[in-house]
Structure 1
Amino acid sequence: MSRDIDHKHCEGCGVELQTEEPSRLGYIPPQALEKTPVVCQRCYRIKHYNEMSSIALQQDDFLKILGEIGHTRSLVLHIVDLFDFEGTLISGLQRFIGTNPVLLVVNKIDLLPKVTNLNKLLNWVQKQAKENGLKVADIVLVSAKKNIGFERLLEKLDQHRDGRNVYVVGATNVGKSTLINRLIRDYSDLEAELTVSQYPGTTLNLVHIPIDDGSDIIDTPGIVYKHRLTELVERRDLNALLPGKPVNPMIYQLNERQTLYFGSLARFDFVKGPRQSFTCYVSNSINIHRTKLEKADELYVEHKGKLLQPPAEQDLDKLPSFTKHPIHVRKGRMVDVLISGLGWIKLNSEEGAELEVHAPRGVKVAVRDSLI
C-alpha cells in the first residue's frame, strides 16, 4: 500500500509526486518520501547516476511543451527512429515551434544492413521530411548505441546553436536518453553543475542541463504515440519488437493469395499480382510464418499466441483486434509497406500489387518510397 503523499511536489523538477506508476511522471518510491529533499525517481537518477530515464507524456501535455518552445529563441533537436521513421516523426512540429530551426537526428542507423549507402539514406530522409511538412536546418544520421555519427552531431549543434538553448524532443523508445547522456558528457560537467537547486520548477518535467556558454540543453519527456505497436504490447514483448542488433532481412517469394504472419502482431496478404519477392525488415526475434490466404483466418484462430508469437497467449487479449488496410501499389513504384513499431515490407519489383495489411486497431500502416 502506498501512503498518502498529500499532493507533494518534487523539489527538483516540480512535478506532482505519485507512488503508484513507475512509468508515469512524478513517481517516487514510498520509502523515499521520508528523505530530504523529496525528489522524484527521475531527478534522483539524474543526479546520482547520470541517468536520463524515459518518462512519457500524453500528446496534449507534449503539445503544451512545443507551444512554449515557439515563444523562445532555441534550436530544436528532433530525434527520430530510423526503424520507425514515419511513426516517430512529430507531425505538425513546425506549427508549434515557430521559426526556430530544427536539427533532425535520425537514430539507429546501426540496425540496417552494413551495405546500406548512407548518402542515399540521407537523400531519402530529406525527401521524407519534406513530404511530411518538416523544414529542417540539417540532418544527422547517428547510432547512439554504437556511437556512430556523434562527432558530426556536435559539429552541427555548434554550427546551428548560435548561443540558443537546445530543446531535445522525440517519441518514446527512439534513443533520446542515450543521446542526451552523450551531450551531457560533451557539454556539461554534470556532477559539478546539475544540482537539485538548478532543476526547473515545472509540472511538465523539463530538465535543464547547463552548458558552457550559459545556455541550456533542455530534455523533454518522450511523447507517447498510440499508433505505434511498441506502445501497445506488454513490456516483456517490447524487447522482441525493438531490434538490439542489425536486422537480417528475410526474403519471401510469394504467389498471389499468400500470407505472411508476424507472430500474432500483424498479417500481410499478397492478394493479387504476378509472383514477386518481398523483403521483411523486422526484429530478428519476430517469428514470420507463411501460409495460404484461404487458410490465414483458421491458422490465426488455432495458433495465435502459440506457433504465432509474440505476443504469448496470455497477452493477446490486451491487444486491440485487427483492422484491415487495403493497399494498391501501381506499376512502376518501388515501395515499402510500413507497420509502425514493427518494421516494414519492401516490394522488390515494380510489377504492382494488391495487398492487405491486418494490424491492431489504431496502428499506423503507410506506403512510402523504398528506404533501401
Structure 2
Amino acid sequence: MREEQHSQSHACAGCGVKLQTEHPEESGYLPEAALNREPVICQRCFRIRNYNEASSITVDQDDFLRLLGSIGSTDSLVVHIVDLFDFEGSLISGLQRFVGNNPVVLVVNKVDLLPRSVNLNRLRNWVQKQAKAEGLRTVDIVLCSAKRNIGFEHVIEAIEHYRKGRDVYVVGATNVGKSTLINRLIHDYSDMERELTTSRYPGTTLDAVHIPLDDGKSIIDTPGIVYPTRMTEIVPRGFLQALLPDKPIKPLVYQLNDQQSLFINSLVRFDFVEGERQSFTFYISNALSVHRTKLERAEQLYADHRGELLGGPSREELDDMPAWTRHSIRIPRGAKKDIFVSGMGWIQANGTSGAIVDVYAPKGIKVLLRDSLV
C-alpha cells in the first residue's frame, strides 16, 4: 500500500498522468517550482481548474481498450457511467466483452436535465431495455445527477452492496460527468484530500487514477473513451458550452406541415418530408437556436446564412467539421419514437400517423430512431 502511494506522488493528482518537468508541450508537464505544491498537479490540470482551459491531449484508443481488457482478468466491480442526455452515444459498446464476469452497475448521470414530470420508474425501465439491446448485463441501474447531488446516496449504496471488498473500476466516455462523480466518491469514501480535474472538455482524465480506500482496495478512475460519433467531440471547444445543457431542458414543440425544415443552429437540419400535419418536440440545450423554413428554401438558406443568421459555430469552424450526410428515417404508424442525434439531444415524433423525415448531420455522427425516452 505504501509503495502504491509513493508511486502516486509521481502522478498528477488531477488526471493521473505521469509528471515531468522537461517538455512543456507534452502531457504531464509542470514547472519545477510547482513540485512543492499540494496536491501536485500538471500544468494542464492547473489551467483547466483555474481558467477552464483545456489542451487537446486525449488518450490513445488502443491504450484505452487495453486498459479496459485488463479489467476482465481482475475480480472487481465495474461502474459504467453514461450520460442520459447522450445515452446511445456514451454507452461503451461491447463493454461486456472486456469486463468478463465482473458485475456491472450502470450509473445514468444527468437525470436533472429532463423535465420534472418524467417518471423515474419508466425511465429506469427504458434504460434497462436499451442496455439489454446493446448486450450489456447489469446487476443494477442507478439514476442520478452528480452535479446536482440527486440520487447520489443510491450510487454509494449500490457500490457498497456489490463491491464485496473488491476494487472498483469506473469507466465511461468523455464528458459524461465521471470526474464529478468520482470526486463525490472520494468525498464519501476516502480520507484523501484530492480532487480530480473536472471540466466541460472531453478527455480530461489521461491515465488510470488509483484512489486508495480505507480497506486497502482502490477506486480506479479510467480515462474517458473518445467516440467521434458524438457531436460533442467534433464541435469547436468554445461551442461546447452551448451544446451541453447545464440546467433542465425546456422542450421546444413545433407544429409542422410536411415540406418544412428546421435548422438547429448551423449543425443539424431536420426535414419533415412526408406525413400529416403533426408536432415534433426538440429536447436540446436551450442555448441552441432553431430556425424554421420551407424545405424548398432550406439549401439556399444554409448556403447563405450558415454560421451567421442560423447561429454558430462560425463559417470557418464549420468548414473544419465533416460535411453533412443525410439520414432518411421512416417513423412507423402509432409508434412513439425519438430521432436521436448523438451529443446534441433528440427530437420526439408526436404524431400517430407515421412520417418520413430527413436529418442532415456531420458525417460520422450517430443518428438513429429509438423508442421514446420521455
Give TM-score scaled by structure 2 length. 0.87
Residue of structure 1 equivalent to 2:247: 245
Pairwise CA distance, 1:102? 0.6
Aligned with 1:57: secondary structure?
A: coil
Percent identity of equivalent pairs: 57
> Residues of 2 paired with 1:152 and 1:191: CA distance?
23
For 2:352, give the aligned amino acid.
E
Q: Equivalent residue for 1:172?
A: 174
Q: Measure how far apart 1:106 and its partner are.
A: 0.3
Q: How many Å separate the matches in 2 of 1:331 and 1:57?
A: 44
Give the corresponding residue for 1:199: none
Equivalent AA in structure 2 for residue 20 of structure 1: E
Structure 1 residue ranges without an equivalent (≥5): 1-9, 195-202
The aligned runs of 1:256-295 (5 Å cut-off) are 256-295=258-297
Which residue of structure 2 aligns with residue 130 of structure 1?
A: 132
- Kindly provide the amino acid, as one letter, of the partner of residue 11 in structure 1: H
Distance 1:71 1:228, change over 3 A: same
CA change 1:103–1:42 in 2 (3 A) is farther
Determine whether 1:19 maps to 2:24. yes
CA displacement 1:93-145 (0-9 Å, x = unmatched): 00011001110000000000011111110110011101111110100000011
Gaps of 5+ in 2: 1-8, 197-204
CA contact (8 A) 2:340 2:367 kept: yes
Q: Does the 8 A contact of 1:259 with 1:293 survive in 2?
A: yes
Structure 1 residues 160-203: Cα deviation after superposition (integer angstroms, max 9, x where no partner):
000110011111110111000000001111139x9xxxxxxxx9
**Contact (CA 8 Å) 1:61, 1:204: kept in 2 or not?**
no
* CA shift digits 1:222-263 (9 cap, x unpaired): 111100011001111000000011111000011111111000
Q: In 2, Cα distance between the equivalents of 1:15 and 1:58?
A: 15
Measured against aligned partners, the alpha-carbon deviations of 1:40-95 in whole angstroms (never above 9, x if no partner) come to 618976xx99x9x9974243221111101011011111000000000000000000
Q: Does the 8 A contact of 2:28 with 2:42 survive in 1?
A: yes
Within a 5 Å distance, the mapping from 1:54-69 to structure 2 comes to 56-69=58-71
- Between the aligned partners of 1:36 and 1:179, the Cα distance in structure 2 is 27
Residue in 2 that maps onto 1:356: 358
Aligned length: 346
2:141 matched to which residue of 1? 139
* Separation in 1, partners of 2:256, 2:369: 19
Tell whether the 8 Å contact from 2:64 to 2:225 is kept in structure 1 after alignment.
yes
What is aligned with 2:93?
91
Question: Amino acid of the residue matched to residue 185 of structure 2?
Answer: L
1:1-372 residue pairs with structure 2 within 5 A? 11-12=10-11, 13=16, 15=18, 19-20=24-25, 26-29=27-30, 32-33=31-32, 36=35, 41=42, 56-191=58-193, 205-372=207-374
Q: How far 1:280 moved relative to its partner? A: 0.1
What is the CA–CA distance in structure 2 between the aligned matches of 1:86 and 1:369, rounded to whole Å?
A: 12
* Distance in 2 between residues matched to 1:130 and 1:42, nearest whole Å: 41
